[in-house]
Amino acid sequence: MGLIIKAISTKKELKEFIKFPDRLYSGNKLYVPAIHSNELLTLSFDKNPAFEFCRAKYWLAYDNGEIVGRIAGIINDRYNEKHNIKYARFGWLDFVNDKKVLMLLFQAARQWALSENMEYLHGPLGFSSFDASGILIGGFDEMSTSFAHYNFPYYSKLIEEFGYKKDVDWVEYNIKVPEYVPEKFVVGAELIKKRYNLHSASLKNKKDILKYADDIFKLINNEYKDIYAFSQLSKKQIMALKKQFALFLRPEYISIVLNSTNEVVAFGITMPSLAQAQQKAKGKLFPFGFIHIMNALKKNNTVEALLIAVKKDYQNKGVNGIIFTDIMSAYIKNGINNFESTREMENNVKINNLWNKFEYRQHKRTRCYIKQL
């Protein structure tokens, strides 16, 4: 039978596509399995709202009947139309250490992209910025965060051998939570509030958070619009994201900053790390995976950043100080000593400079590649 590539055509094959990395990284203590049910929703044409403006195709590579690689091809028409480009994306890329396997995967994605009149192939990227993206090129001795994707060091080497070049890099930081909230943070936050007539939303439960959700996503669409690979979220996508993340939210780890008319002008959303819980769950929420997730939400020493945004009119005015002052006391109270930033553009100086006030280290780097077809 030998080495072959096959486009996915059944739900059984899609489930095999989803589970392949779990076998590839079996025994690896740094790999964090994605939740299979969430992956199934994302990749299903009839479940993911992104398919209102995206097209996709998935392939599995087999060697004598055994799965040895996977890749997704995605075209985000909304993103292409906005930027007047013809880009296809590749994502969900995993493969054994064999150049021939990667060649088959890239050939399949390339031929499909050409048949759809695309001019470039870039990735790894998903349907939206909420999907895992990038190839890890630094930090192979660090555990992946909850919603990121770990990979072996040979990935980047083989990808580059096929002529793919760096398009952008993302970096990640580990920040040590101080033993107490610095007084200058507290004083500074109060001064900023008075100067610009701002206040922090009272968040006692998830209902308090969700009542601001639409304004938060509106701010995301406005302030993230020029971020690499971001495309505006639709109403259906927003509804799906609310449902997906509602379970994981803890009010004390979230800050929402309002102006005098109670308009959301900034927010920071962090959550307890689920990485170790997902390892214990092995990709399955039931029967016991859900218990591991709930335990991690209640007792943890690490939090991860999900989202942060400040309305343009309030940027460079110290509003970030309000956000960190709001949530830092909760970290200290609950025994949190590690803060994991999720992937940030390497040239996003405004965000990167936030960590200079703390003990920190830049410990991971991830790359998005591009190649003209």
**CB-based contact 121:109 (threshold 8 Å):** yes
Residue 228 is encoded by which pair of tokens?
A: 């690499």
Judging by beta carbons within 10 Å of its beta carbon (0-12, 13-18, 19+), is residue 3 exposed, middle or buried?
middle
User: Which of 252, 247, 251, 256 has its CA nearest to residue 214?
Assistant: 256
174 DSSP assignment: E
pLDDT of residue 245: 84
**Alpha helices per DSSP H over 132-262:** 154-161, 183-196, 206-210, 213-223, 235-246
Residue 298 is encoded by which pair of tokens?
A: 């209640």
Q: What is the pTM of this model?
A: 0.95
In the chain, the domains with their CATH numbers are 3-170 (3.40.630.30), 178-336 (3.40.630.30)
Give the distance, in angstroms, between the CA of residue 120 and the centroid of all CA atoms in the same chain.
Answer: 23
**SS3 state of residue 337:** coil
Q: C-alpha angle 249/252/256, rounded to 5°?
A: 85
pLDDT of residue 220: 96
**CB-based contact 285:244 (threshold 8 Å):** no
User: Which of 367, 364, 368, 369 has its CA nearest to residue 140?
Assistant: 364
147 DSSP assignment: T
Give the strand pairing for 302-310 and 338-340. Answer: parallel
pLDDT tens, per residue, the chain with 373 residues? 689 999 999 999 999 999 999 999 999 999 999 999 999 999 999 999 999 999 999 999 999 999 999 999 999 999 999 999 999 999 999 999 999 999 999 999 999 999 999 999 999 999 999 999 999 999 999 999 998 999 999 999 999 999 999 999 999 999 999 999 888 889 999 999 999 999 999 999 999 999 999 999 999 999 999 899 999 999 999 999 998 888 888 999 999 999 999 999 999 999 999 999 999 999 999 888 899 999 999 999 999 999 999 999 999 999 999 999 999 989 999 999 999 998 889 987 777 677 888 899 999 999 999 999 9
pLDDT of residue 248: 84
CA distance 54 to 50: 6
Hey, what amino acid is at 196?
Answer: Y
pLDDT of residue 256: 97
Per-residue burial over 308-340, b if 16 or more Cβ lie within 10 Å, else e, is bbbbeebeebebbbbbbbbbbebbeebebeebb
Q: Which helix (H) or strand (E) holds 17?
A: helix 11-24
Cα distance between the two ends of the chain:
29
**SS3 state of residue 109:** helix
pLDDT of residue 353: 72
pLDDT of residue 319: 93
**CB-based contact 244:38 (threshold 8 Å):** yes
